[in-house]
Amino acid sequence: MNRMRILAVSGSLRAGSSNLALLRAAAAVAPEGMELVFYEGVGALPHFNPDLDGEGAIPPPAVKHLRRVFGEADAVVISSPEYAHGLPGSLKNALDWIVSSGELTDKHVVLLNASAAGGQRAQASLAQTLRVMGARVLENASLIEPFVRKKLSPGDIVEAEVAQKLRASLDALAHAVGLVRGGLPAGGDGT
């Protein structure tokens, strides 16, 4: 089987982001045959404007790139903090650009969340947005890991327990993507 290309997206623009660190830790424990490719363009996207999104409109270059990398991915892992009980605006903005172009349709998505303490509200809201976009959110494989900073050593080495949970999430994702590649009917992978 070809390598599985998983797009990793952090919902935080912070250089020292815990969510980015969690994604790097996930990349380090990815199963054989799975590659995590990091999308780092969230902060460079223009504000979503339907006038630039309609039929015949030429999308800005950053949006073209966003659509290409999402389109090429076999699946997506998003790790996002919670801001004021919701999604970071920049992440929602990125998703708004691919509502009508459809790169997430039928694509499997695992959600991670490294917030200060909570994170459930942002994760639920993100899952709802993704589902309405046609994505297959793997709820059972999604994780909320509060206080990630305390569980990280230099080099983004996470505690063994977190590493195991990340590996289990990626295994579930690999399984789901593999089943679809194998030609099961929609929904036959348990999403």
Ligand X SMILES: Cc1cc2nc3c(=O)[nH]c(=O)nc-3n(C[C@H](O)[C@H](O)[C@H](O)COP(=O)(O)O)c2cc1C
Binding residue for ligand X, selected from 25, 34, 95, 114, defined by CB under 6 A:
114
Residues listed for the chain: 191
Looking at the Cβ atoms of 115 and 169, the one nearer to ligand X is 115
Looking at the Cβ atoms of 113 and 191, the one nearer to ligand X is 113
Looking at the Cβ atoms of 50 and 89, the one nearer to ligand X is 89
* Separation CA 22–CA 170 (nearest Å): 13
Looking at the Cβ atoms of 60 and 118, the one nearer to ligand X is 118
In angstroms and rounded to an integer, the radius of gyration of the C-alpha atoms of the chain is: 16
| Footprint (CB under 6 A) of ligand X, residues 117-146 | 117-119
Q: Closest separation between CB of residue 190 and ligand X, Å?
A: 29
| Footprint (CB under 6 A) of ligand X, residues 88-107 | none
Measured CA angle at 190 (ends 189, 191), to 5 deg: 100
- Sorted by sequence, the CB contacts under 8 Å of residue 97 that are 6+ apart come out as 45, 48, 53, 59, 63, 66, 67
Binding residues vs ligand X (CB under 6 A): 12, 14, 17-19, 81-85, 114-119
